Chain A
């Protein structure tokens, strides 16, 4: 085995382990903040896997979109709503866990079966386009994948308008879910006065 292949193998093993353990941690950990940070780690390792596949543009886009935007927004939302809330204990938690685990295992076995039965048409390494892939992605986005691309952007636009309507407090004077008058103050306010009179 040459040095390049050994390095690639070590990188692949490490990245896969991080993806699997990190993803398990996202699901199993009690603390929502840890889950959110681990999710960022999983996204980064997936970007690493793309790099190993010579898809550097996809890897950078993965980091920019998933780590830099999606994950930061998730963490941002968790911290902005940083409420210490005691959740009600659920009675039949054990049976729920069993059901969800079995559903997940079924999906996993289905995926493994697809992976094993399907014949993948892998191109040999000397045909990989490497650095040229940026240009190819651009060409595809503006020719045969133009319609899906535009549909996705319209969908995002709709989601954005919806979010703006929900977030702007002067659009609606009442909270949609509770019907209470909304509080018009700044978001960045402390929940308790900074200088409390202790004596």
Chain B
């Protein structure tokens, strides 16, 4: 299964050709994919912010941003610049150190989780063995940052927002992890690459969504709750808590929260597409297309074609899910805190446990369909 472009190998070979040692070549290579993914994440946020503004405008029969660039595409950049030059205010009664550390602790784990997002066979930063488990572990750090900023703001709305965020995050992490576990059970591996490859045998028909419909819905609900998107945006419910833990924040520190929540949304959409929608796989397997066109699978043209199709498919699936999330945000009402916790503990948790049990049973009964 190791066809596909291996950019790292080619890059290292090129540098070795220039007379550098393999260690130096490796060090020069290391920051490149990280920078690339960081840029991709930030550009993804800009696109999502623009989509959010345009779709919300359409949902409310407005026009939305229109003067900054064609169709207002430059509006998110203008927003970002505004946040960059705004005054950075720390309230006088706030705890300065924790107030600054909070937003950083919220953003860093989210960005670190991009380590495991694959855009193709070799197009990811690192194929670590613990794969998807790394994301679950990292996303559990976030509530500490939220509690920290809620406490440091020295404001009762902030504190309540932080407490709600932590309670929500803890409750929804468990069904989330259980539905991931069902996928891992079928794949026999935690690696995101293996999870996608396991779904690639028959194109759209072998995607996990057909074998894990319940898991897909549970995962999507939990991912929305972890991102604090609208049906579940209680931590920042503006009618009750001003803006939750973000109330006292301004300028760049607020921008870190903003960036963090949107990067998290895109990351969740990417992970849903990787876990359930076949990742970089095209609905019709690329091997079949190559056979139809009588081209060898290892031809350079086919490899470049496969890699670009992979990136396009991953981004397309992720943005389809982002679109659904935005539509949900502008068309559904918010749940109450008790409804939220009831949904998490009394509904999603038993369902995901049953889903895991049934998956294990089906795996024993039909090993050829549910991973042997």
Q: Which residues of A contact B (CB under 8 A)?
A: 2-4, 33, 37, 40, 44, 56-57, 60-61, 63-64, 67-69, 71-73, 75-76, 79-80, 82, 130-132, 134, 188, 190
A selection of 14 A-B contacts at a CB cut-off of 8 Å is: A3-B23, A3-B27, A4-B23, A37-B144, A40-B144, A57-B130, A63-B141, A67-B140, A72-B169, A72-B170, A76-B147, A79-B162, A130-B129, A190-B156
A57 to B170, CA, bound (A): 21
Supposing A37-B148, A69-B170, A82-B159 touch, asked if A56 and B140 sit within 8 A by C-beta, the answer is no
The reply on B166 being an interface residue by CB < 8 A is yes
Supposing A57-B133, A60-B133, A80-B163 touch, asked if A72 and B147 sit within 8 A by C-beta, the answer is yes
For B130, list chain A residues within 8 Å (CB): 56-57, 60, 131, 134
Q: Is the CB of A72 within 8 A of B137?
A: no
Q: Is the CB of B23 within 8 A of A68?
A: no
A60 to B163, CA, bound (A): 24
Min Cβ gap A32→B in Å is 11
Q: Is the CB of B137 within 8 A of A61?
A: yes
A4 to B136, CA, bound (A): 28
What residue of chain B has the Cβ atom nearest to residue A58's Cβ?
Answer: B130
Min Cβ gap B238→A in Å is 16
For A130, list chain B residues within 8 Å (CB): 129
What residue of chain A has the Cβ atom nearest to residue B144's Cβ?
Answer: A40
For B147, list chain A residues within 8 Å (CB): 72, 75-76, 79
For B98, list chain A residues within 8 Å (CB): 33, 37
8 A Cβ contacts from B223-263 to A = none
Min Cβ gap A11→B in Å is 14
Contact with A along B137-165 (1 / 0, CB 8 A): 11011011001101100001001101100
For A188, list chain B residues within 8 Å (CB): 160, 163, 337
Supposing A57-B133, A60-B133, A63-B140 touch, asked if A33 and B160 sit within 8 A by C-beta, the answer is no
Q: Is the CB of A56 within 8 A of B151?
A: no
The reply on B190 being an interface residue by CB < 8 A is yes
Q: Is the CB of B151 within 8 A of A79?
A: yes
A60 to B130, CA, bound (A): 8
> What are the nearest 5 A-B pairs in CB distance?
A68-B140, A131-B129, A60-B137, A64-B137, A63-B137
Supposing A40-B144, A60-B130 touch, asked if A72 and B166 sit within 8 A by C-beta, the answer is yes
The reply on B128 being an interface residue by CB < 8 A is yes
**Given A63-B141, A188-B337, 19 more pairs with CB closer than 8 A:** A2-B23, A37-B98, A56-B134, A60-B130, A60-B134, A68-B137, A68-B141, A71-B144, A72-B143, A72-B147, A72-B166, A72-B169, A73-B170, A75-B144, A79-B159, A79-B163, A80-B163, A132-B129, A190-B156
| Count, A-B residue pairs, CB within 8 A | 78
Q: Is the CB of A76 within 8 A of B166?
A: yes
Min Cβ gap B239→A in Å is 14
The reply on B173 being an interface residue by CB < 8 A is yes
Contact with A along B109-149 (1 / 0, CB 8 A): 00000000000000000001110011011101101100110
Min Cβ gap B271→A in Å is 16
Min Cβ gap A38→B in Å is 11
A67 to B150, CA, bound (A): 18
The reply on B299 being an interface residue by CB < 8 A is no
For A4, list chain B residues within 8 Å (CB): 23
What residue of chain A has the Cβ atom nearest to residue B98's Cβ?
Answer: A37
Q: Is the CB of B144 within 8 A of A72?
A: yes
Q: Is the CB of B129 within 8 A of A33?
A: no
For B160, list chain A residues within 8 Å (CB): 188
A2 to B337, CA, bound (A): 55
The reply on B58 being an interface residue by CB < 8 A is no
A132 to B190, CA, bound (A): 11
The reply on B89 being an interface residue by CB < 8 A is no
What residue of chain B has the Cβ atom nearest to residue A82's Cβ?
Answer: B159
Min Cβ gap A119→B in Å is 31
The reply on B284 being an interface residue by CB < 8 A is no
Q: Is the CB of B134 within 8 A of A67?
A: no
The reply on B288 being an interface residue by CB < 8 A is no
A12 to B135, CA, bound (A): 24
Chain B CB within 10 A, most for which of A37, A56, A67, A79: A37
A4 to B148, CA, bound (A): 35
A188 to B29, CA, bound (A): 51
Q: Is the CB of B136 within 8 A of A134?
A: no
A79 to B160, CA, bound (A): 9
Q: Is the CB of B166 within 8 A of A33?
A: no
What residue of chain A has the Cβ atom nearest to residue B156's Cβ?
Answer: A190
Chain B CB within 10 A, most for which of A68, A82, A130, A188: A68
What residue of chain A has the Cβ atom nearest to residue B95's Cβ?
Answer: A33
The reply on B59 being an interface residue by CB < 8 A is no
For A76, list chain B residues within 8 Å (CB): 147, 163, 166-167
Min Cβ gap B154→A in Å is 11
Min Cβ gap B262→A in Å is 22
Min Cβ gap A76→B in Å is 5
A57 to B143, CA, bound (A): 21
What residue of chain B has the Cβ atom nearest to residue A44's Cβ?
Answer: B141
